[in-house]
A and B are shown apart, each in its own frame.
Chain A
Amino acid sequence: MKHIVLLIPIAAWALSACDTIDSNERWGEKAPVVIKKNVLIEDFTGQLCINCPTAAEEIHKLQQGTAGALIAVGIHSGGSKLCYSVEKLPFGLATDIGEMYNTDWGVKSLPSGMIDRHGGLLEFTKWASVAAKRLGLDPAVEMELSTSYDGNASDTQWGKAEIKVEMSENQAGALKNAYINLWITESNITARQTMPDGTTNAAYVHQHVLRDVITPAYGQLVETTDDGTAVYTATYDIPKIYGRSSKTDVQHMAVVAFVTKGEKGEVMQTEEARIVATTETEE
């Protein structure tokens, strides 16, 4: 009996094992990604979040090689949670709508992201894989987004943006119960950001920051014609200031249009267009 019992730890030790992977065996084959559709990344981020610049850098790396197919929106939010934006201070980039998205999607830590609202919230080490898969999908919907700008400024506004989205189905019935979302973003915003080493970079340049939502928060139901097409138009008055004192530059503002399957469903297609046409390229 004693011998049998004492064999238990020996057997356990023998059965316990571990895999060791040499450095030259850790990576799989390089698989080319054939880009067939645009993909939306919603990046929940914050100006006091030390890991968020890393996620922003990850987005930048992901965008390289996709020729604009990967469209990112930075949603500054978090309120009093772990990492929060300084909405009440000058150049705070959080918005009420961003806070609502943060709560609705159950964001518990920053940075967190959603890729085409597929697979829920993802930590940024998974963005590359999920984005690659989504880029290679056949799009159910095609979209064409156009903007025109009337620069008739006033004290509080830069002018008006006229927005037109034309949609058509690649898959029959794709636009049935679909919701069109129009968001306003702004890039090249210089504002404070806590860096991974804990220091504050007052001259950090923020890209694709969510500024406003034109449609209802989770989109407007798409009204289709008999031939499976739809057109949605909107007019947006561009403010000079958001929040208490976050000044805008219309030259760096854009419209992001995306259509979802159902009100909070997966994103079927995304497009982005600058409000003011320019040859200047973003960082």
Chain B
Amino acid sequence: MTNCKTALLALLWGAAAASAQNASTQGDNEWRKWRFTGAVQSDVLVPQDDETIGTEPTDCWALTNTYVQLGLVNKYIEAGARLEFTEYPLPGFEPDFKGWGVPYAYVKGNYKGFELTGGTFYDQFGSGLIFRTYEERSLGIDNSLLGGRLVVDAIKGVRLKALGGKQRRYWDLNDSWVYGADAEFSLHDWFPRMQEHNTALTLGASWVTKQEGQDSDVGKNIADYDENGHPILFYQGLRQPEKVGSFDVRANLRKGNYSFLAEYAQKSQDPSFDNGYIFRTGRALLLSGSYSKRGMSFLAQAKRSEDMAFRSRRSMTLTSSFINHLPAFTQQQTYSLATIYPYATQNVPGEWAFQAEGSYTFKRKTPLGGKYGTTIKAAFSHVRAGETPVAADVASSGNYYDYLKGDKTALFGTKGFKDGNFWRMGDEKYFQEFSVDLDKKISKTFKLNLKYLHQQYNKTIVEGEGGMIKANIAIAEGKWNINRKYALRAEAQYLHTEQDQKDWWFGLIEFSMLPHFMFTVSDQFNAHVVDAADKEHKVHYYQALVTFTQKSHRLSVGYGKTRAGYNCSGGVCRFVPAQKGLNASYTFNF
């Protein structure tokens, strides 16, 4: 898919507008002030084979994911386009990810509260339970819509959106049409007394429909015998609903330091590969409460979801073609060993998820705060199965017993599970994590961070095998500002588990020569991953990296090995195979 012409037309039109001598009919000089913006991101790997760690073989001497985005903006018009080059992609992306072109281009105009977009766009309704299009390059996700969007902010306290289009899947568009609308009403704009009492209430409602033609390749073979006893085969196709509708309602209340959100979404019959082609209603409920003030914050939230995988192509697998995105209820971890067991949201059959986080800063010059203050954070996440009661027509058919034995096609064409007690929980734990974080400035130049995590990770549910992994992780990080020019940072991490690959160590030292240079060396080491060349020598996943920063330019070049694992963001994960070689990364924003 190449939208070079569209991109060029958009940029030329913007340039022509910029050079126009006459301003708008209102004679507004803002019309003439154009800004040219852009961003470049390029990640390159010069790979080396390493059988010990299991690198993927490749014929290419270099692999790269490169993105160049350009835009023209003034007060009323915005146009942009993005060139993507993934013809020789980094390891671990889906085969269809390979390609290059201009898959993203748009023109947007806004005037007196009306904003109209034509081309490719991203958007989200509420928390994304029925609609969220976004880009996440590290996962290879870009599910943008190509079509049109109208946003109306013309009435005080009311925000309306209507959009429609076809969804991008790598270098193609899925055949289905996706269209929807969203309305948000900020009641505090209508009732000034609410604002006087520091209260804000927003009500929202959304609708999204996917229209997709029949997939003639979904059906079943039926083996029978003719009158002579000879085997005979029949094929029976499954009729799928061509329109799948969904709605979302939400209320968001803020009062002083408190904030509460309640959101419910529902989706009509949507038989798909994800759910084994059953005809069941999908539902999701999200409740969240938080308190925040200077020096203290607290968050608690719960989510229940059933069969809420909503794709623009019902037969699709892996990470592409999702119309919605259920928020992850687990902490996004940044320390290396804490990311070895990341949880991926289970859209089907669904899950219960709970999360609580709190932080408190002991003030400086107090007994617990010390001279410079101390911050302590605690977080807890728990995800488990929801109950999935069997529909009556399924339970009596006998197919349910085949389903229990593992035949996911046994419920083909049935309701599968009835919409029973939404609140009841299932027995199986999917993920649990508890962490405590201590952040303390020891002296004027030295800061210490200590962290402890306990994780329980159901590897069978998330990855398909492996059982329940229980891990304890200890992390220590120290930052020393030596002087105005030099800084030193060091990390030490240790993961202990009796399961899977057992214990891991990680160490990192980073030396900064401000403002331009940073030198980093790190090593991740597991006692049980044997080096084939020397069975007594354990594999070291070492990395050495030099980073140079100059204004908006950032270039890092390094060499080393990376272990195979999962890269996750927002509950969506991509398997990344082991890598070894020279890596470089460049970003530039203007």
A residues engaging B (CB < 8 A)? 1-2, 5-6, 8-9, 11-13, 15-21, 23, 25-33, 35, 48-51, 53-54, 57-58, 61-62, 64-67, 79-83, 103, 106, 108-110, 122-126, 128-132, 135, 194-198
Contact = CB atoms under 8 A, between A and B. Distances in A.
B239 A28 contact: yes
B413 A26 contact: yes
B221 A108 contact: no
Given A18-B244, A28-B236, 15 more contacts: A5-B154, A8-B162, A26-B279, A29-B236, A30-B234, A32-B234, A48-B464, A50-B460, A51-B406, A51-B464, A65-B222, A109-B317, A126-B218, A196-B406, A198-B460
A30 B244 CA distance: 26
A58 B269 contact: no
A19 B221 contact: no
A131 to B, nearest CB: 7
A125 B223 contact: no
A20 B409 contact: no
Contacts of A6: 155, 158, 160
Contact of B95 (A30, A83, A106, A129): A106
Max chain B Cβ within 10 angstroms of own Cβ: one of A17, A62, A65: A65
B218 A108 contact: no
Contacts of B408: 51, 54, 196
B57 A23 contact: no
B245 A16 contact: yes
A128 B220 contact: yes
30 contacts: A5-B158, A5-B160, A12-B207, A13-B207, A15-B209, A16-B179, A19-B241, A19-B243, A20-B241, A21-B240, A26-B413, A28-B239, A31-B235, A32-B234, A35-B233, A49-B464, A50-B406, A58-B409, A65-B231, A65-B232, A66-B231, A82-B463, A108-B318, A110-B464, A125-B412, A129-B218, A135-B233, A195-B406, A196-B406, A196-B408
Contact of A5 (B155, B232, B245): B155
B393 A23 contact: yes
Given A109-B318, A194-B465, A195-B406, A103 B235 contact: no
Given A8-B160, A17-B245, A195-B406, A129 B208 contact: no
Contact of A27 (B233, B409, B413, B578): B413
B575 interface: yes
B217 A126 contact: yes
Contacts of A16: 179-181, 207-209, 245, 247
Contacts of B234: 30-33, 65
Contacts of B219: 28, 128-129, 132
A82 B575 contact: yes
B221 A131 contact: yes
A83 B465 contact: yes
B158 A123 contact: no
Contacts of B44: none
Given A28-B239, A65-B224, A126-B315, A80 B232 contact: no
Given A48-B464, A126-B218, A9 B181 contact: yes
A-B pairs with lowest CB-CB distance, top 7? A196-B406, A65-B223, A12-B181, A18-B245, A18-B268, A19-B241, A106-B95
